[in-house]
Amino acid sequence: MEVSAPPLIEMAEMLEENGSVAAAPEAPVDPEPPSFTMPPAVEDEEGELPADFERLWKAAHDNPHDFTSWTDLLQYCEQESHITASRRALVAFLARYPLCYGYWKKFADLERRAGNNTKAEEVCEQGLQAIPLSVDLWIHYINLLLGTLDMNLPESPKRIRSVFEDAVAAAGLDFHSDRLWDLYVEWEKEQGNMRNAAAVLDRVLKVPTQLYNTHYDKFKEHLNGHEPKDILLPEEYEELRTLCRQSQKAERAEQAQEEEKERPPGEEEPATPEGTDTIKRPYFHVKSLDRLQLRAWHSYLDWEISEVRILFERCLIACALYEEFWIRYIQYLEPQSVEEARAIFKRACEIHLTNKPNIHMQWATFEERHGDLTEARRVLEAMEKNLPGLAMVRLRRAALERRAGQLDQSEALLQEAVADSKEKPMLHAFYSIKLARLLLKLGRNPSRARRVLQEALEISPDNDKLYLNLLELEVSGDPWASSEAVQECVTRALAAPLAPHTKILFSQRGLQFAEDYSNSIQSVLSVYEEHQKLLKELGGTKRGAENG
């Protein structure tokens, strides 16, 4: 596959074509290009590529799932300090491994050192589309802006604040997001905006981060170090003054009323100590809850649900290569939103788990269950193209067409598999049996099914499963019309290079068929005598004939 090195401003499109988180591609990604060609030169390239670049580039693309090959390529480009080689390697690497946030940072630093500040910003933005939960990458992006923007321009602080807001919206609920919140608070203080700093501290106290107590202490310190009117809006300040005058009396009265009227059934004293939590009744009571408490429970549940999403996303950064975590996330999302569950399937299968057939087949099942047969077909076809020769995928494709009422297409897929597997006798026999059963059970065409099995026996004369299926086909027909065909099948199996116990089994089946359906005792005795000869010849006297 020809891999060009586009300008960095086109990198977003390139990542989309390779299945980035930002927008999944219409066509499946082929992670193993069929051939290799060096990227063509562009006008602004930095001279010739380093001596070993072609060798390392080819090694990485010949075996794209070998992570070490990629890191060797990247390390070599970094050692050579060759910007064009590094850029090409990073673009190709990050298209395949977009969750490696450290390499996004290296890419941004590479462009910044080269004086391409705009491109460095674009790299960070594209990385954050791939891993919006990366606190480190958000901080790197913000520090990049702080170091390159002209803060004397009025639009610069607005942009910084906007990026901070995007950052806390995307990653602020993460347990390890403390550094991001701290950076936001300190930046607002540096701008002399104490009200904004107080507002940010107030927001972070609603998030259970790792350093929650530290934020609480900083908030108290901030409040104690400034006059209320300097950190509150005028209307908030006046409202606070009013509340301070009334709160103590009101709270005492309300608490007394609650203690009197809403004790848990059977309790004489309050179940919990005095407090000011909005959720004041954690126990059961028949008395209706007031709207304030109902609203508090709704808010609490909404917050917990949002935390579940953040938890899954955080887990999938570390566990991106383990399909069970993707499946659990999808199972959680599907009852809420089919589209969101589909997006997770795309991220998993088209970026991180391109070679894991199980999750691809689950994706196809998901699409079929929701009525999108076209997408289900596409998913299975892409998987088979990526990993050719997997019988489970071909059988799933045939089953999908059968369930869709496309019996001819199902038959064609199995016929193609039979034709393509003649060099692999075991696989050829497997597909032949599947095709014969389809023709017999659903196509109602025993003659075609018989022909498929007989042709398979020409390639695999020692495959006992083929003989067994052929025998089952013959005994399932009209017993009087198929008597000769049954005995012919038994005779053929006895002449084949099969194991002795297998031959005895076939002989017993033939004898049983004769006993059950033969029109003359002479024919039964003839088959019986042949069976006894076989037992003596093969030494199989431990088990007598079923008819005694």
Report whether pLDDT(1) > 80: no
Give the per-residue pLDDT at 483: 83
| CB 330 within 8 Å of CB 344 | yes
What is the mean predicted confidence (pLDDT) over 3-30? 33
Long-range contacts of 334-341 (CB under 8 A, 24+ apart): 334/366, 338/370, 341/366
Q: What is the mean pLDDT of the chain?
A: 84
User: Does 41 map to a domain?
Assistant: yes
| CB 278 within 8 Å of CB 292 | yes
What is the spatial distance between Cα 351 and Cα 320, in angstroms, rounded to a whole number?
A: 9
What are the pLDDT digits (tens) for 132-185? 999 999 999 999 999 999 988 999 999 999 999 999 999 998 889 999 999 999
DSSP 469-496: HHHHHHHTS-TTTSHHHHHHHHHHHHHS
What is the mean predicted confidence (pLDDT) over 55-79? 93
Give the per-residue pLDDT at 282: 74
Label residue 300 by pLDDT band (50, 70, 90).
Answer: confident
Give the per-residue pLDDT at 334: 95
- pTM passes above 0.85: no
Give the whole-number percent of the chain exceeding pLDDT 90. Answer: 61
CB atoms within 10 A of CB 10: 13
User: Does 405 map to a domain?
Assistant: no
Of residues 370 and 34, the one with the higher pLDDT is: 370
Label residue 266 by pLDDT band (50, 70, 90).
Answer: low
Number of domains in the chain: 1
Give the per-residue pLDDT at 286: 81
Q: What angle do CA 319, 323, 326 make, to 5 degrees?
A: 75
Bridge partner residues of 2 (DSSP): 37
| 548: its two tokens | 């005694």
Q: Give the range among 52-61, 162-171, 265-274, 281-290 with minimum mean pLDDT.
A: 265-274
DSSP 93-127: HHHH-TT-HHHHHHHHHHHHHTT-HHHHHHHHHHH
User: Does 212 map to a domain?
Assistant: yes
What are the pLDDT digits (tens) for 77-91? 999 999 999 999 999
User: Does 416 map to a domain?
Assistant: no
Q: Which domain holds residue 148?
A: 8-235
User: Does 115 map to a domain?
Assistant: yes
What CATH number did the domain enclosing 84 receive?
1.25.40.10
User: Does 201 map to a domain?
Assistant: yes
Give the whole-number percent of the chain exceeding pLDDT 70. Answer: 84
What are the pLDDT digits (tens) for 391-445? 999 999 999 999 999 999 999 999 999 999 999 999 999 999 999 999 999 999 9
- Sign of torsion over alpha carbons 482, 484, 485, 490: positive
User: Does 202 map to a domain?
Assistant: yes
User: Does 285 map to a domain?
Assistant: no
Report whether pLDDT(284) > 90: no
| 194: its two tokens | 């104490």
What is the spatial distance between Cα 369 and Cα 346, in angstroms, rounded to a whole number?
A: 16
What are the pLDDT digits (tens) for 184-235? 999 999 999 999 999 999 999 988 889 989 999 998 988 888 888 788 888 8
Give the per-residue pLDDT at 264: 59
Q: Which residues contact 44 (CB under 8 A, 6 or more apart)?
A: none
Give the per-residue pLDDT at 522: 87
Of residues 156 and 277, the one with the higher pLDDT is: 156
